């Protein structure tokens, strides 16, 4: 049975890094007879330039039809002055909410070859392998009412609503328990239950779910402590599960433990494991067009796609091993290179991964 893959390069370095990831995807498609049919579409600033909106109907339709989506990144200074409703980021948020991609999986893995690139001591981070499961379509980023209003006193007031219902908490909880079950069996739920009622309910639902997963050890941690523990002793964690805003912040913090945001893939899944796969970083306008961006996060996003939406662990393992071998062979893009060490460009790094795949 063939599967449809929609590729959305987006803006800035998006087209450069996606081009390398596409080559890797085409290579494994052939080698492992995956029967994937690849299409491309526009999203973000590129879609605004062509169609006046960040998420054109044809892109949304293609995304609905696709079995998985590979996205580069969106945004850039060219579109920063547009009103919020038609900014490039709305294309991304629209895809996430329209496709109900409620579960965001962000692994933070420190490749031993890159231990020196972390800002933490090598002994604190070496061998780090954690997974952050972030709820993506609810919480304070989507809660109503929201806005900026003028009070009777004439003072303006900004307000948002932090809301989760039991079903939303349960479905993200299940994703996290299932993920922990396939790893070391430890799940830490992050909340602010000492202050926010919404997370009192969050904690209750996680505790209830725990009885269905006796093989997973559940713990709870307040978000402020979790932020601290992530830099103090990050290896204590296996899987973390949390809401949209806390997950947004903690996953960026975890990203930095690994040295470069250019190494981190992500998956956003719906109920049926249809997913959108993208690097954790943005469109990096400061280096766009220079051919120096690190394509590995996008290539590793392809590996996640093969694992979660295509069901080919073999092809996913092959890509991850090839990335590791390219690093072993000494290939470093500028973001990974130690001072004084020469670096390679986006294409050379992509080629190094292809060569490592071919040699395996
Ligand atoms: P960014 O992640 O684009 O860049 C932060 C820093 O990391 C920059 O110095 C950049 O050069 C570097 N960097 C990022 N990816 C890299 C890579 N693959 N290789 C080497 N270096 C890399 O974040 P930002 O500067 O805050 O945002 C830039 C634009 O991206 C903004 O318009 C923002 O809205 C957008 N953005 C998009 C997404 C997304 O599409 N998912 C996520 C975050 C930011």
In a domain, 236, yes or no: no
pLDDT digits (tens, 9 = 90+) for 176-216: 999 999 899 999 999 999 999 999 999 999 999 999 999 99
Of 252, 270, 317, 355, which one is the catalytic site residue?
Answer: 252
The pLDDT of residue 129 is above 80? yes
Average pLDDT, the chain: 95
Q: Catalytic residue at 191? A: no
Q: What CATH number corresponds to the domain at position 269?
A: 3.40.718.10
Residue 355 among the catalytic residues? no
Residue 259 within a domain: no
Residue 331 within any structural domain of the chain: yes
**Domain hosting residue 98, numbered range:** 1-103+265-360
Q: Is residue 178 assigned to a domain? A: no
Atom of ligand 1 nearest to the CA of 75: 32
The encoded tokens of residue 99 equal 């496709």
For 175, other C-beta atoms within 10 Å of its C-beta total 21
pTM > 0.95: yes or no = no
> Does 206 map to a domain?
no
Q: Are 190 and 210 in contact (CB under 8 A)?
A: no
Structure-block tokens of residue 145: 């009412």
Give domain status of residue 146, yes or no: no
CA distance 76 to 88: 8
pLDDT-based confidence at residue 231 (cuts at 50, 70, 90): very high
Q: Is 164 a catalytic residue?
A: no
Residue 209's SS3 state is: helix
Is-catalytic flag, 270? no
Please compute the mean of the pLDDT values over residues 340-353 and round it to a whole number. Answer: 94
- Burial bucket for residue 336 (CB in 10 Å: 0-12, 13-18, 19+): buried
pLDDT at 106: 94
DSSP of 291-340: T----HHHHHHHHHHIIIII--HHHHHHHHHHHHHHHHTT--BTTTPPTT
For the chain, give the percent of residues with pLDDT over 70. Answer: 100
State how many domains the chain has. 1
Residue located nearest, by CA, to atom 4 of ligand 1: 284
Give the tens place of pLDDT for each residue, 164-180: 999 999 999 999 999 99
pLDDT in tens, 76-110: 999 999 988 789 999 998 999 899 999 999 999 99
80 has catalytic annotation: no
CA 140 to chain centre: 19
pLDDT in tens, 238-292: 999 999 999 999 998 998 888 778 899 999 999 998 999 999 899 999 999 999 9
Q: How confident is the model at residue 113 (pLDDT cuts 50, 70, 90)?
A: confident
Which atom of ligand 1 is nearest to 13's Cα?
Answer: 18
Residue with tokens 């009192």: 200
Per the CB < 8 A criterion, the answer to whether 345 and 291 are in contact is yes
Query: What value does the mean pLDDT take over residues 155-171?
Result: 98
In a domain, 187, yes or no: no
Q: What pLDDT is attached to residue 317?
A: 95
pLDDT value, residue 350: 98
The rounded Å distance from CA 193 to ligand 1 centre is: 32
Is residue 58 helix, strand or coil? helix
Instruction: Indicate the top mutation candidate among 17, 281, 336 to test ligand 1's pocket, ranked by most ligand atoms within 8 A of CB.
Output: 281
Q: Is residue 11 part of a domain?
A: yes
Ligand 1-lining residues (CB < 6 angstroms):
13, 17, 73-76, 89, 92, 261-262, 278, 281-287, 293-294, 297, 335
Return d(Cα 259, Cα 201) in angstroms, integer. Answer: 35
CA 154 to centroid of ligand 1, rounded, Å: 38
Tokens 């040699």 sit at which residue? 359
Give the confidence band of 342 by pLDDT, cuts at 50, 70, 90: confident
6: three-class secondary structure by DSSP? strand
Q: Which of 69, 4, 68 is nearest to 36 (CA)?
A: 4
In the three-class reduction of DSSP (H, G, I as helix; E, B as strand; rest coil), residue 66 is classed as coil
């Amino acid at each position: 049975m063939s599967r449809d893959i929609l590729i959305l390069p987006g803006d800035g370095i998006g087209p450069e890094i996606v081009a390398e990831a596409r080559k890797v995807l085409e290579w494994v498609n052939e080698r492992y007879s995956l029967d994937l049919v690849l299409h491309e579409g526009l999203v973000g600033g590129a879609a605004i330039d062509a169609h006046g909106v960040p998420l054109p109907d044809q892109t949304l339709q293609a995304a609905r039809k696709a079995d998985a989506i590979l996205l580069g990144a969106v945004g850039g200074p060219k579109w920063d002055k547009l009103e919020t409703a038609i900014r490039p980021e709305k294309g991304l948020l629209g895809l996430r909410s329209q496709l109900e991609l409620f579960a965001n999986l962000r692994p933070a893995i420190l490749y031993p070859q890159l231990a020196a690139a972390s800002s933490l001591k090598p002994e604190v981070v070496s061998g780090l392998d954690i997974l952050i499961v972030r709820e993506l379509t609810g919480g304070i980023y989507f809660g109503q009412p929201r806005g900026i209003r003028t009070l009777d006193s004439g003072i303006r007031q900004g307000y948002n609503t932090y809301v989760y219902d039991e079903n939303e908490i349960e479905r993200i909880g299940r994703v996290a328990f299932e993920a922990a079950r396939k790893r070391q069996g430890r799940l830490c739920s992050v909340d602010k239950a000492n202050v926010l009622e919404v997370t009192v309910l969050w904690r209750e639902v996680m505790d209830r779910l725990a009885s269905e997963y006796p093989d997973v050890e559940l713990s709870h941690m307040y978000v402020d402590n979790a932020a601290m523990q992530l830099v103090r002793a990050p290896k204590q964690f296996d899987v973390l599960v949390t809401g949209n805003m806390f997950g947004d912040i903690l996953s960026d913090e975890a990203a930095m433990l690994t040295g470069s945001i250019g190494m981190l893939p992500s998956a956003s899944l719906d109920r049926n494991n249809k997913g959108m796969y993208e690097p954790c970083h943005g469109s990096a306008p400061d280096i766009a067009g220079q051919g120096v961006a690190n394509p590995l996060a996008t290539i590793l996003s392809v590996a996640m796609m093969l694992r979660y939406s295509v069901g080919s662990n073999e092809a996913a393992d092959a890509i991850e091993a090839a990335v590791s071998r390219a690093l072993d062979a000494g290939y470093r893009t500028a973001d990974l290179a130690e001072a004084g060490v020469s670096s390679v460009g986006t294409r050379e790094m992509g080629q190094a991964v292809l060569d490592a795949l071919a040699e395996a």
